[in-house]
Amino acid sequence: MTPTPQTTPPAGARPLLEVEDLRVRFSRRGQPATTAVDGVSFSVDAGEVVGLVGESGCGKSVTSLAVMGLLPSRGTRVTGSVRFDGTELLTMAPGQLAARRGKDLAMVFQDPMTSLNPVLTLGRQLTEVLRAHTDLDRAARKAEALDLLGRVGIPDPRRRLGEYPHQLSGGMRQRVLIAIALACSPRLIIADEPTTALDVTIQAQVLDLLTTLVRESGTAMVLITHDLGVVAGTCDRVNVLYAGRVVESASRQDLFARPRHRYTSGLLAAVPRVDAPEGTPLQPVRGTVRDRLEWDAGCAFLPRCGRGDGACRTGGIPLAPTDADRARHPDHEARCVHPAGATT
Amino acid sequence: MSALDAVGTTAEPDAEPTGEAGLGPWAAAWRRLRRNPSGIVGAVIVLLFVLVAVLAPVLAPYRPATGQWFGEVTPTSVPGPSAEHVLGLDSFGSDLLTQLLYGARSSLVIGVVSTAVGLAVGAVLGILAGGLGGWVDTVIMRIVDVLLSIPSLLLAVSVAALLGRNAVSIMLAISAAQVPIFARLLRASLLAQRGQDYVVALRSLGLRRRRIVVGHMLPNALGPVLVQATLVLATAVIEVAALSFLGLGAADPAVAEWGRMLVTAQGRLEQAPQLAVYPGLAIAVTALGFTLLGEALREALDPRSDR
């Protein structure tokens, strides 16, 4: 229905991860089905850091779980296509997919306080992945675990190996989780709000560590966040999600310099500025995600948009370069009838 | 910094928060257990019980169930405490203290073995049900429901009646009554773990389900089961006595057994009440010990009791 994004990678290389028209519907007996992800398409090149941005409930986390095949099978319908290095993941047998998880693609979760097993030592949990995916013997696994802890900047790793998660701070735990995700040198890491549960001071450190490590090892990363500040510091490309669809896709520079979709520009305008004159009111995006139109009936953002009109009430608005970008920035796409800054 | 040093705080450079002074979850629970007075009382009783059972041959002044002073027992009187027999004789002319000490033995062996068997079988069923889910879960839990609907003593009595009167069948009878309890408990405990974040995280690492269930969820789910096992031991001690009281106990009269001591004491309740009082007390105190220990364990293993 909608054309796939034209994010052609350099010189004929195939993207590492291609998500095409991904749809996830949850149904419960006696309740109307809800569509959490409604035709998301994006791609990630090898070694690239791609952001998925959006507010709560726009389908970010569900997208990542669907890519990893971690959604519960009961009551969930996943359609579309997720290709990893050319292999379709959605139709893959569960056992085969499990064999690739942790080895080829790994995930860093949002809450480091609950994502580690509370009754096992960190050493056990670190060596567990190595045990599942490598042929290393016990001693080699331990040496590798020590090395990993050192790489994620945990002091005195030898002692930490024998400790339990509750003996570490949140930042330290997130470092351990990053170490676990990186253990088998995956080619893609999906980081689902990796810094949301951390103190602001720690956030920067952890984010820094994560990006440094993926850049060093050439690992591609999908960074899921609701924080535009996080995106600004880390991503190569950004996909803005709204109501289960990508509404804008651009390089980081283009997105911040020339936001096209009215939702993106609204989000950027909502970021409080230190240099604004005192007393300047904050500019929130009005309404909530619940005030939405079905995509088939028009732009889902219309009820909250200040610029929308009757032209927005047609289904199937394509994700395409705006007139202003078509010539110079063909990879800057927006799903908008009245894009911002269209006159330039 | 210098101010802190002056107060005498150790200059620990590492400012990481360490929950209970750097203890693992099991060590922390152990520490909480040691600080619980009723837990200590329970532990002491249990320890004494075990010691008595193990050391019965050393502690007992005579050999059990010999009946060698049968001549001193008359139809109307049983000799009371004396210099040679601290608690007197029983109605068959054996030393009462000796019988009591050896009685601890059979209670301990039958109680522990039957609880171990019940725990093992129940745990396997619980792991299958809670770990696999689906139709396996449904089938196992329906069977467990049926077993649970029968009062446990009735179940034990029927199994004992079916299998005959020997020690092994009593153990099986008692464990049969425990299997559904453990199966249901472990399943519930595992189900509570299934939705935890760390389980999703482990799945994202491509670990096999068996590995996740047995290696990760089980250690987390074990706490309530341990508590239940201790409490069930108390019930088992009582059930051993109850079965032999009902005449379903071990048939061998040479084996001293608290329940049977109670039965034989019945006939002489008026002339020699001590024959019923001592074994009754032994049963009650032992059961109390296990219960106190179990309750203390429950508190110690409860993550909310951190404070």
Preferred mutation among B20, B30, B198, B212 to probe A, highest tally of A CBs within 10 A:
B198
Task: Determine which of A60-74, A233-247, A265-279 has the lowest per-residue pLDDT on average.
Answer: A265-279
Q: Using a CB cutoff of 8 Å and minimum separation of 24, what contacts does B143-151 make?
A: B144/B179, B144/B180, B144/B183, B144/B184, B145/B180, B147/B176, B147/B179, B147/B180, B148/B180, B148/B181, B148/B184
Mean pLDDT, range B68-85, rounded to an integer: 74
Helix (H, G, I), strand (E, B) or coil at A318: coil
Question: pLDDT averaged over chain A?
Answer: 86
Closest CA to B196 of A8, A176, A111: A111
Does B4 have pLDDT greater than 50? no
Helices B167-194 and B134-149, interaxial angle, to 10°?
Answer: 130
| pLDDT, tens digit, 9 for 90 and up, residues B103-143 | 888 888 888 899 999 999 999 999 999 888 888 999 999 99
| pLDDT, tens digit, 9 for 90 and up, residues A98-152 | 889 989 999 999 888 889 998 889 999 999 999 989 888 999 999 999 999 988 8
For residue A257, the Cα-to-chain-centroid distance in whole angstroms is 21
Residue A111 near chain B (CB below 8 Å): yes
Domains along the sequence of chain A with CATH: 13-58+71-242 (3.40.50.300), 244-273+282-344 (no CATH)
Closest CA to A95 of B199, B208, B128: B208
- What proportion of chain B, given as a percentage, has pLDDT over 90? 21
Q: Report yes or no: B97 and B85 within 8 Å, Cβ to Cβ.
A: yes
Mean pLDDT, range B66-70, rounded to an integer: 73
Q: Please state the pTM of the whole predicted model.
A: 0.78
Q: Which residues of A fall within a CB distance of 8 Å from B206? A: 98-103, 129, 132-133
Vertex B81: Cα angle to B77 and B86 (nearest 5): 140
Q: Give me the total of CB pairs closer than 8 Å, taking one residue from chain A and one from chain B.
A: 87
At A342 the pLDDT is 61
Nearest Cα residue in chain B from A94? B206
Mean pLDDT, range A185-197, rounded to an integer: 90
Determine what percent of chain A falls in helix, strand and coil, rounding each to the nearest 5.
35, 20, 45
Task: Determine which of A148-152, B26-30, B207-211 has the lowest per-residue pLDDT on average.
Answer: B26-30
| pLDDT, tens digit, 9 for 90 and up, residues B172-199 | 888 988 999 999 999 999 998 888 889 9
Residue B48, phi then psi, degrees to nearest 5:
-60, -45
Tell me which CATH code domain B27-57+95-184+221-306 carries. 1.10.3720.10
Give A8→chain B minimum CA distance, Å: 29
Which positions 273-302 of A are in contact with B (Cβ < 8 Å)?
none
Q: How confident is the model at residue B1 (pLDDT cuts 50, 70, 90)?
A: very low
User: Does A167 contact B18 at a Cβ distance shorter than 8 Å?
Assistant: yes
For residue B157, the Cα-to-chain-centroid distance in whole angstroms is 19
Written as one letter, the residue type at B230 is T
Q: H/E element holding A82?
A: strand A76-84
User: Does B24 contact A114 at a Cβ distance shorter than 8 Å?
Assistant: no
Does A228 have pLDDT greater than 80? yes
Preferred mutation among A62, A117, A173, A199 to probe B, highest tally of B CBs within 10 A:
A117
Q: How confident is the model at residue B10 (pLDDT cuts 50, 70, 90)?
A: very low
- What is the residue extent of each domain of chain B? 27-57+95-184+221-306
Radius of gyration of chain B (CA): 25
Give B183→chain A minimum CA distance, Å: 22
Q: Which residues of A fall within a CB distance of 8 Å from B203? A: 70, 98, 101
Helix (H, G, I), strand (E, B) or coil at A241: strand
- CA B165 – CA B156 distance, rounded (Å): 12
CA distances from B274 to A202, B97, B113 (A): 72, 11, 30
| pLDDT, tens digit, 9 for 90 and up, residues A302-312 | 888 888 888 88
